[in-house]
Structure 1
Amino acid sequence: MKVKIAVFASESVMKCFIKNSSQDNKIEIVPFLYKKAEEVNELIEKAIMCDLYLFAEPLSFFYAQEKIKKKKLPAVQVPFDEYMVLTSFYRLIYNHKQQLNRLSIDVYNRIHVEEVLRELDKKEQEIYTYSYCEEESIDPEEIVSFHQHLWDEGKIDYVLTSAEEIEYRLQEYGIPVSKMAIPMKNVHSAVEKAELMARVNQNSSALIIVGSIRIKNLIDIKLEKGELAAQKLLVNLYNILLNFSQETDASVLAGNNNEFFLFGTKKVLDHITNHYRDFPLLREMERTVHTPVEIGFGLGLTARQAEDHARLALEACSNSEHSSCFIVNDRQETIGPLGIKKQFDSSRLYQSLIHKARLNNELSYNFIDFITIRNNEPFSSNDIALYYRVTKRSAERTINKLLSGEVIKVVGEEKPYVKGRPRKLFTLNQ
């Protein structure tokens, strides 16, 4: 099945993009043209059937950021980095015979220009830079005015712009200007990243799980027992994670600051879901290293989102002096600590299931087992369907009975996939 990538760009950039993008039969480029970058928000609504949104120009990406964040759209921007700046400088010198001084440039982030100038041993004062990311909102007229004022004051001889509409406006004023061309390397990089993200999101187990693991108070251990003892603990911890990764089809990597990372998908999530109450991984670590350990699991639709959530989950562990494990899901809800039993009144629940929800004995006992296994954490109708091994419609009928009998209540929503309706989350009404 082909991956459909919606590409947002001006006409000239789109021609360059399609020409330079690889002719991969696994992907389909769906072009969305605009004359002004601000039109991109309307075009996004028309790209609903696409798997991923790719922005070829930094100005359009800037306009779309709020909608991307609000709708949690899987989006990629063509890198506007040091390589692109350096390539533009090279073309400026050899195609336009313009030296790297008395020049103004507009970019998404000025740091890329500064890095290139530092490498070339050029003074930043010789080039004037307008940086989008430093503004809360963007107005193309402000960018045009920035360049125009410098030209009128006799401070520049040439303009490099990252937006076609800015180029056209400056040409109308008779100001020498050219648009920065997108290097082929950057196009290929963006397409490859877009395809990878789309493949992950197309998978039925689209959620990515990242685990961040570290030994609590490792610095104190080094001071008390020495570097060698601390390194031995880290090796033991790594071996436990290596065995766990083999069981769950995950990957384990050593990070900075004596921290380890797990990267996985459905198998890791299934393991976590099935061990809310005991969580044997944490207990095995405690028995082996004989010191408190912290684990933070993050769920997300992208690796970056999952990693950010794992960091939030790890921060939650810092509130405890003992070993602990927390999860932050794709809605940034914190779940945990895992391995600690959350009590509920099973007798009271049984009576409610029988008399209020009017479930039979077998269903009632099964539901109590379901709540026990999940450690009384929020659940969806899909969780019920998987546990009872019934159809989604049958699970929803059970949910409706539980709601009607006020045995459970709605506590939120989850959206495990990029497309589709969010699922309601329920918990016991006790």
Structure 2
Amino acid sequence: MKLRLGILGADDSMEIIESVTQEFEELECLKIVYWNEEDIFDLIEPHIHDADLWLFSGKVPYTMVKEWGKISVPMAYVPHMGASLYRTLLHLSHQCEIKVRELSFDTFSARELILFLKEAGIDEGYTWLLHYDGAITAGELADYHEKLWREGKTKAAVTCLRTADMELRARGVPVHRVLPTRAGVLSVIHMLLRTHEMLHFKDTQIAVQIMEIDPLRELAGGTFATDEWQNAEIKTMEKLLRYTKHLQGSLKTAGPGRYAIFTTRGIMQNVTSDYRAMPDLDEAFGIHAEWVTCGIGIGKTAYEAEIHAGTALLHAKERGPGHWMVFFDDKSIAGPLGSQEQISYSSASSDRLQTLSQQTSLSVLTLSKLDSILKKRRSQEINAHELAQYMQILPRSARRILMELESNGLAQVVGEESPNPRGRPRKVYRIIL
């Protein structure tokens, strides 16, 4: 079966991209041409699930769709660096006799442009550049280039955005559009195909789910006769067998009240919404979620996945009944699933965290958790109460961690917060890892 490649781009870029995709017999292309950035979401939304891969003609549409967050398959855009830019500058230099310093650029980063000019043997540096990380409108780019041109600081604009090119032409500003090259398109398509292969391999990796369920919770009347115990276990097994069938997996017992389910990474990823939520066991299978403590392990072999699931279960049990944690094949840990305080941290030792661990009394795992919490919060500042909530530990343990960091110069008190008028003020620490 052919792979479906969605292509969204400007009209002039689409012609180049189409000429390349014709060389790939394994691709079936869905082509969408846009004329205004404001139309991109309306154009692409009806086709969200119609493609296995998405290719964008430039950085702006790619960034907009990525930030939109509704597409989960691999995406990429065709870069305008390299031969694309070299071809444009060669034309400007030889045909128009315009130097690099007399041009205004957009899209590229300063580092990219400096390295390109150096590699191209162009000794003169650039003067005017508008770099942007997120999305930007054609009007903003046109305003930037037009202002420089009208002030006599430049002789022409070099843009990577088709709509900005059209806008500048309408305003009478000399502009040259950097178009993608066939080689650039070819390289990105090969990269997308390799990414798809890698993800397909990952989906077929083994996933093991080890669940601890107390069968006594099934005994509503509080009787603990042997027969009642066995009946409770049989009921639990029947429910788990239905759940296992849903996962297209296999079930085995791993001790009293402990069960292991073997399935694939792709299926587990789907039922947990990409490892963000717990599956609805109660509604669909009659298993009360608050009775289940679970560890999910991912591995290249069943043995490795089962070992990882056991480790994940230990992390889940640290947080108490009803929690689910995941241990991936790259040694990273995520969870608790379904919690607002969910974080992802690594059990592997990086050189940076290993050095900090030796400098303090804190383990690499604790430091990795702290690092992930700060990244999730997008702030280097935190108090002990907040840290305790994220790490599911007592506030006094969180204070000990923060005081340990402070005593080693890795944290400093930057203020205090009062949760209520009578409450004890909480110190706010800025962490410097």
The code of the aligned residue for 1:17 comes to: I
Paired positions, count: 270
Task: Provide closer, same or farther for how the CA distance between residues 103 and 21 of structure 1 changes in structure 2, counting only shifts above 3 A.
Answer: same
- Does the residue aligned with 1:106 lie in a helix, a strand or coil? strand
8 Å contact kept, 2:54–2:74: yes
In the alignment, the residues of structure 2 paired with residue 25 and residue 402 of structure 1 have an alpha-carbon distance, to the nearest angstrom, of 48
Paired residue for 1:59? 60
- Tell whether 2:42 aligns with 1:42: yes
Q: Deviations over 1:174-216 (max 9, x none)?
A: 2111210211111001111222333444x4x643xxxxxxxxx
User: Structure 2 stretches of 5 or more lacking a match?
Assistant: 241-250, 269-279, 294-321, 329-336, 339-433
Quick one: distance in 1 between partners of 2:138 and 2:127? 20
Instruction: State how 1:402-417 maps to structure 2 within 5 Å.
Output: 402-403=287-288, 407-408=291-292
Q: Following the alignment from structure 2 to structure 1, what is the Cα–Cα distance between the partners of residues 288 and 35?
A: 52
For 1:50, what is the secondary structure of its paired residue? coil
Pair 1:92 & 2:89 matched: no
Corresponding letter in the other structure for 1:360: I
Cα distance, 1:96 vs structure 2: 4.1
Alignment match of 2:258 (pick from 367, 372, 383)? 372
Distance, in Å, in 1 between the alignment partners of 2:230 and 2:286 is 8
The answer to whether the Cα contact below 8 Å between 1:22 and 1:188 also exists between their aligned partners in 2 is: no
Write the distance in 1 (CA, Å) between the matches of 2:231 and 2:32.
52
TM-superposed deviation, 1:351: 5.3
- Any residues of structure 2 matched to 1:209-228 within 5 Å, and which? none
- Contact 2:77 2:188 (C-alpha < 8 Å) held by counterparts: yes
Quickly say closer, same or farther: Cα 1:88–1:156, change in 2 above 3 A: same
The residue aligned with 2:368 is none
Matched residue SS, 1:360: helix
The residue that corresponds to 1:360 in the other structure is 234
For 2:41 and 2:79, the matched residues in 1 are separated by 20
Return the alpha-carbon distance in structure 2 between the equivalents of residues 196 and 158 of structure 1: 39
Contact 1:85–1:113 (CA under 8 A) maintained in structure 2: no
Following TM superposition, the consecutive aligned residue runs of length 4 or more in structure 1 with deviations greater than 4 angstroms are 344-347, 349-359, 364-368, 395-399, 409-414
2:192 maps to 194
Preserved CA contact (<8 Å) 1:27 1:195:
no
**Residue in 2 that maps onto 1:106:** 106
The equivalent of 1:182 in structure 2 is 180
SS in 1 for 2:35: coil
Preserved contact between residue 170 and residue 177 of structure 1 (Cα < 8 Å): yes
CA shift for structure 1 position 35: 0.1
* SS of corresponding position for 2:287: helix
Aligned residues of 1:85 and 1:112 also touching (Cα < 8 A): no
Q: Which amino acid aligns with 1:56?
A: S
Aligned counterpart for 2:285 among listed residues 400, 418, 422: 400
Q: Secondary structure at the match of 1:101?
A: helix
Q: d(CA) in 1 for partners of 2:104 and 2:22?
A: 33
In the TM superposition, residue 102 of structure 1 has moved relative to its aligned partner by: 0.6
- State how far apart, in whole Å, the 2-side matches of 1:27 and 1:373 are: 43
**Cα shift at 1:154:** 0.4
Alignment of 1:27-426 (within 5 A): 27-47=27-47, 48-68=49-69, 71-119=71-119, 120-124=121-125, 126-133=126-133, 138-201=136-199, 203=200, 206-207=202-203, 266=205, 269-270=206-207, 273=208, 348=216, 360=234, 363=237, 369=254, 372=258, 374=260, 400-403=285-288, 407-408=291-292
Cα 1:362–1:151 change in 2 (3 A) is closer
Match of 1:16 in 2: 16
1:188 and 1:55 map into 2 onto residues whose CA distance is 13
Higher relative contact order, chain-length normalized (CA < 8 Å, sep 6+):
1
- Report the AA paired with residue 8 of structure 1: L
CA root-mean-square deviation:
4.3
What TM-score does the superposition give when structure 2 sets the normalisation length? 0.52
Fraction of identical pairs, as percent: 16
Query: Under a length normalisation based on structure 1, what TM-score does the superposition of the two structures give?
Result: 0.52
Deviations 1:237-283 (A, max 9, x none): xxxxxxxxxxxxxxxxxxxxxxxxxxxx51xx35xx38x8xxxxxxx
- AA in 2 matched with 1:170: L
Shift of 1:412: 7.4
Give 2:356's aligned residue: none
Q: Is contact 1:103–1:127 with CA below 8 Å preserved after alignment? A: yes
Matched AA of 2:101: N
Q: In the alignment, residue 159 of structure 1 is paired with which amino acid?
A: A
Q: Using a 3 Å threshold, how does the CA distance of structure 1 residues 85 and 110 change in structure 2: closer, same or farther?
A: farther
Q: 1:206 & 1:362 partners in 2: Cα distance?
A: 31
Whether the aligned pair in 2 keeps the contact of 1:105 and 1:130 (CA below 8 Å) is yes
In 1, distance between residues paired with 2:100 and 2:122?
A: 11
| Paired AA for residue 77 in structure 1 | Y
Task: Tell whether the 8 Å contact from 2:106 to 2:131 is kept in structure 1 after alignment.
Answer: yes
Match of 2:272 in 1: none
The structure-2 alpha-carbon separation of the partners of 1:27 and 1:356, relative to structure 1 and needing over 3 Å to count, comes to same
Aligned 8 A contact 1:105 1:159 in 2: yes
